[in-house]
């Protein structure tokens, strides 16, 4: 089960324990979801450094934050949807104390409905001919925009966005219009599929994460799987697997990069742009990984070092099906290690000055400390 990442890190341990007790989430609402919701509210109010009170005022902000988290660029929901949701906003604090998260499912179901409508429109737009000589503008200041008043308004907003995407893809990627259209069709399809692959844990993370962010942008709620990823990658700075990074495209897990010196690199058979379409178990049973969430594909491939994994691979540009057996290894995330550097420069007064920089894997910035040193002899 999930956890909350709070600024007092003491809550990591508490929620990690909850993760072990409750277990994994199913694609449909589960009884444990209710317990998680109640526990999160209690932990927030008792242990968060801001000591927030989750009341009607918080609930209104929470409602808006959840809508924004799902549809930050305001392409999907209509204004009537948002008005409808906001009528229930002040009841969210009372509901969540009872473990009631029906509102999250109601909003997300509507979101999926709108996603499918917009996806259909995107595909239809890509079959049309755009006039790039026409003088049009595109407003990307989403904070100051309202949600579309109706379907016609949503379609018009989407038409400009698709036109812009097509223009950028043609110019930046230096592709023909046909190639750019094909690329956008894959992108839009992948995005639509991603939302349909949400499970109960993903939705709960979005919903409760929206709550924690209303009183502190640095507080977030993570489900069990994402907690494990955080602990391994951000804290332990290591993983155990084959040493390949993947991306999702058109329903396939595609090898993006091979990590030098790791298992896949030493074996030599797996190459960038190959598709990993499945896993073969020791008994010969196969697990199909096509159209699966990328995070789930990665978790199938990872495992304790020294163990073996049999990848079912479709090499780039072929329809062949090959099985590569690789032995998992420990992968050190060296690029994320803390780093330091001393720089020396001569000042206007002719004296040397030093500047020390450090980058922490748990931060997003660089810290600098400057001082004047004794002149170099």
Strands 238-241 and 220-222: unpaired
Q: 5-9, 174-178, 274-278 — which is least confidently predicted?
A: 5-9
* pLDDT at 190 > cutoff 60: yes
Please tell me whether residues 83 and 177 are part of one structural domain: yes
- Residue at 33 is within a domain: yes
Residues in the chain, how many?
A: 377
Please tell me whether residues 60 and 78 are part of one structural domain: yes
Residues 140 and 156: their CA atoms lie apart, in Å, by 14
Tell me the sheet residues that pair with 269.
none
- Residue at 196 is within a domain: yes
Tell me the sheet residues that pair with 369.
356
Q: Which of 226, 253, 271 is the C-terminal boundary of a domain?
A: 226
Total domains in the fold of the chain? 3
pLDDT 10s digits, 219-250 = 778 777 766 665 555 444 456 789 888 998 88
**How many Å is the Cα radius of gyration of the chain?**
25
Average pLDDT value over all residues in the chain: 81
Write the CB contacts of 354 (distance below 8 Å, at least 6 apart in sequence): 342, 343, 344, 370, 371, 372, 373
Dihedrals phi, psi of 58, to nearest 5 degrees: -65, -40
Give the structural domain span for 317.
238-334
Please tell me whether residues 282 and 174 are part of one structural domain: no
Please tell me whether residues 179 and 193 are part of one structural domain: yes
Q: 76, 65, 78, 106: which is closest to 188 by C-alpha?
A: 76
CA 10-15-17 angle, to 5 degrees, is 105
Exposed/middle/buried for 34, CB within 10 Å: 0-12, 13-18, 19+? middle
Structure tokens at 307: 């163990």
> What percent of the chain clears pLDDT 90, i.e. is strictly above it?
43
Structure tokens at 139: 């407003």
Exposed/middle/buried for 183, CB within 10 Å: 0-12, 13-18, 19+? middle
Structure tokens at 19: 């993760």
- Residue at 318 is within a domain: yes
Tell me the sheet residues that pair with 266.
none
Residues 270 and 244: their CA atoms lie apart, in Å, by 9
Residues 56 and 94: their CA atoms lie apart, in Å, by 8
Mean pLDDT, residues 110-130 taken together:
95
Which has the higher per-residue pLDDT, 14 or 335? 335
**DSSP character at residue 176:** -
Please tell me whether residues 114 and 185 are part of one structural domain: yes
Please tell me whether residues 128 and 156 are part of one structural domain: yes
Q: Which of 173, 206, 226 is the C-terminal boundary of a domain?
A: 226
Please tell me whether residues 312 and 216 are part of one structural domain: no
For position 363, what pLDDT does the model report? 37
Query: Can you give the CATH number for the domain in which 286 is found?
Result: 2.30.42.10
For position 218, what pLDDT does the model report? 78
E strand or H helix at 183, and its extent? Answer: helix 177-196
- Residue at 232 is within a domain: no
In the chain, the DSSP E strands lie at 3-5, 220-222, 238-241, 244-249, 252-258, 275-280, 286-288, 308-314, 322-327, 329-332, 339-346, 352-359, 366-372
Helix and strand element counts for the chain (H, E): 12, 13
Please tell me whether residues 324 and 343 are part of one structural domain: no
pLDDT 10s digits, 156-183 = 999 999 999 999 999 887 889 999 999 9
For position 341, what pLDDT does the model report? 60
- Residue at 233 is within a domain: no
Residues 79 and 67: their CA atoms lie apart, in Å, by 11
E strand or H helix at 230, and its extent? Answer: helix 224-230
Q: 9-23, 90-104, 211-225, 235-249 — which is least confidently predicted?
A: 9-23
CA 195-196-200 angle, to 5 degrees, is 85
């Amino acid at each position: 089960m999930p956890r909350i990442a709070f600024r007092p890190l003491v809550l990591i341990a508490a929620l990690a324990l909850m993760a072990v007790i409750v277990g994994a989430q199913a694609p449909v609402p589960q009884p444990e979801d209710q317990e998680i919701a109640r526990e999160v509210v209690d932990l927030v109010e008792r242990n968060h450094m801001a000591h927030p009170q989750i009341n009607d005022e918080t609930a209104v902000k929470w409602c808006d934050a959840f809508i924004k988290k799902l549809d930050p660029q305001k392409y999907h929901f209509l204004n009537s949807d948002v008005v409808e949701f906001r009528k229930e906003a002040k009841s969210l604090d009372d509901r969540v104390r009872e473990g009631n998260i029906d509102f999250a499912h109601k909003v997300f179901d509507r979101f999926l409905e709108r996603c499918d409508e917009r996806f259909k429109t995107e595909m239809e737009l890509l079959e049309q001919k755009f006039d790039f000589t026409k003088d049009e503008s595109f407003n990307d200041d989403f904070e100051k925009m309202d949600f579309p008043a109706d379907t016609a308004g949503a379609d018009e907003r989407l038409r400009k966005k698709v036109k812009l995407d097509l223009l950028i893809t043609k110019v930046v990627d230096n592709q023909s219009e046909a190639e750019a259209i094909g690329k956008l069709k894959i992108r839009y399809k992948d995005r639509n599929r991603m939302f349909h692959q949400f499970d109960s844990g993903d939705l709960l993370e979005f919903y409760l994460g929206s709550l924690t962010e209303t009183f502190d942008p640095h507080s977030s709620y993570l489900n069990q799987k994402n907690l494990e990823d955080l602990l391994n990658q951000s804290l332990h700075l290591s993983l155990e697997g084959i040493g390949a990074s993947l991306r999702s495209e058109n329903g396939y897990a595609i090898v993006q990069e091979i990590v030098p010196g790791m298992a896949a690199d030493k074996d030599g058979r797996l190459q960038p742009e190959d598709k990993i379409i499945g896993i073969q178990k020791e008994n010969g049973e196969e697990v199909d990984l096509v159209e699966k969430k990328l995070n789930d594909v990665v978790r199938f491939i990872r495992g304790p070092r020294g163990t073996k994994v049999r990848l079912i691979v479709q090499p780039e540009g072929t329809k062949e099906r090959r099985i590569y057996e690789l032995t998992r290894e420990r992968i050190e995330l060296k690029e994320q290690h803390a780093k330091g550097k001393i720089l020396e420069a001569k000042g206007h007064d002719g004296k040397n000055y030093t500047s020390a920089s450090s980058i922490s894997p748990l931060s997003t910035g660089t810290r600098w400390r400057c001082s004047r040193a004794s002149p170099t002899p």
